[in-house]
Structure 1
Amino acid sequence: MSTLTGRTPGFRTALAFEWTKFAGLRSTRWTMAATGLVTVAGAVFVGVSGSLQPDDTVLGGSLTLSIVSLMIAGVVGALTVCGEYAAATVTSTFTAVPRRGRVLLAKAVLLAVLLYGVAFVSCTVAYLLGGAILEDGAYARGEPLPALFGIAALFAVVGVLGLAIGTLLRASVGSVTTVVAVLLLPSLFGPLFGDARPWVAGASPTAALEKLTQTSDAGPEAVGSLGAWPSLALVAVYSALLLGLAAWRLRRRDV
């Protein structure tokens, strides 16, 4: 299009291109759907099985599997760009929209909006289902608002984080592995760092999620003393920085 008209497509056009590609891929559609369904399924399982801990909240228990959904959100972000490299369609993308930073920004905005919507709806439904299934008055309800808005925002941020990782690595397997590692390893290996454990584990997206969902596992000794919203802001900051690095690398590559 840019060759025929002599003008570089604007951001809205780039966004429309990205939506067409995203909606046309079965893998991304199903992975996006799984992001929401896993959370809801987890709420039903916890409610029916009665596996919620006595000191947990309805909000935290209902969103038990939201950590799995968060990982899927990161994978969606990585596959959004890695799929184009695997199918060798990325060259066509940059031919249609030569400004590579604009392409990456359009992908990031599209992912953030879609993941925010899916996460907010699915987490809200999960909370309502959990509250309906669990014994009334047996557990503290938690504070769903404004926490649900923050949880949805975290999903959007992690999707962008996955996009940045996928742009830097370009390979699906390596990108997916890295996304999962970023989300899980700080919590798994945090105890190895002794007194620094809260700082290591507390900087991960999963720590921010545990704080926002108000689970009984979100103690300061495990996920740090930083509050839920500052933790979300921290994840957003380093995700934005990584996206900036990815944009810089993207401009310097041949493809």
Structure 2
Amino acid sequence: MTDTTTPPPGFRRALAFEWTKFASLRSTVWTTAATALVTMAGAVFVGLSGSLQADDTVLGGSLTLAVVALMTAGAVGALVVCGEYSSGTITATLAAVPRRGRALGAKAALVAGVFGALGLVSCAVVYLLGDAVIDGSHPQGSPLPALFGIAALFSLVGVLGLAIGTLVRHAAGAVVSVVAVLLLPSLLGPLLGGAGPWVAGAAPTAALEKLTQTSDASAEAVGSLGAWPSLALVAAYTALALAGAALVLRRRDV
């Protein structure tokens, strides 16, 4: 007797499923576009207002609102999966891709790819825009290889949002959790005495400040860990969060 059982789709097909769903949702597409637009608005505002400190770099000033874009990336990452839970389509997704780790991996690859590319292109454009409108008396900063690190950070925060969304499953709760992960360490740090800079320095926003070479990224505020080690730290706990999300997803009914 011939076995007619259909084999589960491979990773490339699962990724294609995720892209189709992502591109078909206007809200997701427009929110993703806002990630780029908000950084551009920030560069123009800073340049026209002349609000930079003397020691602020053009790179840091141009990317002043990149932290808002970073929150948007995390929120979209969370909504990629929470939207399916709220609409009930997660059941169809897991029926189409029964291997749940593969389904989550495809979502993570999509989010990382979209926000990595978007982060690199938009931040490069924003830097060039800022260079044109910000007073030339400010130090330039070193855009390379920092822009590649910033793009990687956008990817990581998007995937971190996806992991949180998978764990929480509720859109509002997931978005609030993402914002808390990004902002609470820097808000609570000053209350923790000597440990404060290390707590604040563990946040993705601290890695962003170090990569953009802003004057706010002092050792007293965000610890003495360098920009690239800070990025590696974000990558490490993002990987742990995604692994935990995959484990929970495998054990849940849906």
What TM-score results when the alignment is normalised by the length of structure 1?
Answer: 0.97
1:165-212: CA deviation from partner (whole Å, max 9, x where unpaired): 000000001000000000000001101100001110000000000000
1:47-103: CA deviation from partner (whole Å, max 9, x where unpaired): 111111111000000000000000000001000000000110000001111000000
Q: Does 1:118 align with 2:118?
A: yes
Q: Does 1:214 align with 2:240?
A: no
What amino acid is the match of 2:51? S
Q: Which residue of 1 aligns with 2:227?
A: 228
Residues in 2 aligned to 1:207 and 1:69: alpha-carbon distance in whole angstroms: 14
Q: Does 1:149 align with 2:152?
A: no
RMSD (Å), alpha carbons: 1.1
Residues in 1 aligned to 2:220 and 2:14: alpha-carbon distance in whole angstroms: 45
Correspondence 1:88-127 to 2 at 5 A: 88-127=88-127
TM superposition shift of 1:10: 0.4
How many residue pairs are counted as aligned between the two chains? 252
Q: Which residue of 1 aligns with 2:44?
A: 44
Which runs of at least 4 in structure 1 moved beyond 2 Å after TM superposition?
Answer: none
Q: Which residue of 2 aligns with 1:205?
A: 204
Correspondence 1:1-255 to 2 at 5 A: 6-136=6-136, 138-255=137-254
What SS does the aligned partner of 2:183 have?
helix
Residues in 2 aligned to 1:135 and 1:28: alpha-carbon distance in whole angstroms: 36
User: Contact (CA 8 Å) 2:35, 2:73: kept in 1 or not?
Assistant: yes
What TM-score results when the alignment is normalised by the length of structure 2?
Answer: 0.98
1:138-188: CA deviation from partner (whole Å, max 9, x where unpaired): 100000000000000000000000000000000001000000000000001
What amino acid is the match of 1:147? A
Structure 2 residues without counterparts, runs of 5 or longer = none
What SS does the aligned partner of 1:140 have?
coil
TM superposition shift of 1:135: 2.3
Percent of counterpart pairs with the same letter? 71
Residues in 2 aligned to 1:65 and 1:18: alpha-carbon distance in whole angstroms: 29
Residues in 2 aligned to 1:132 and 1:91: alpha-carbon distance in whole angstroms: 50
TM superposition shift of 1:11: 0.3
Residues in 1 aligned to 2:52 and 2:197: alpha-carbon distance in whole angstroms: 25
User: Contact (CA 8 Å) 2:77, 2:111: kept in 1 or not?
Assistant: yes
Structure 1 residues without counterparts, runs of 5 or longer = none
TM superposition shift of 1:31: 0.9
What amino acid is the match of 2:60? G
What amino acid is the match of 2:58? V
User: Contact (CA 8 Å) 2:59, 2:142: kept in 1 or not?
Assistant: yes
What amino acid is the match of 1:168? L
1:105-136: CA deviation from partner (whole Å, max 9, x where unpaired): 00000000100111111111111011111222
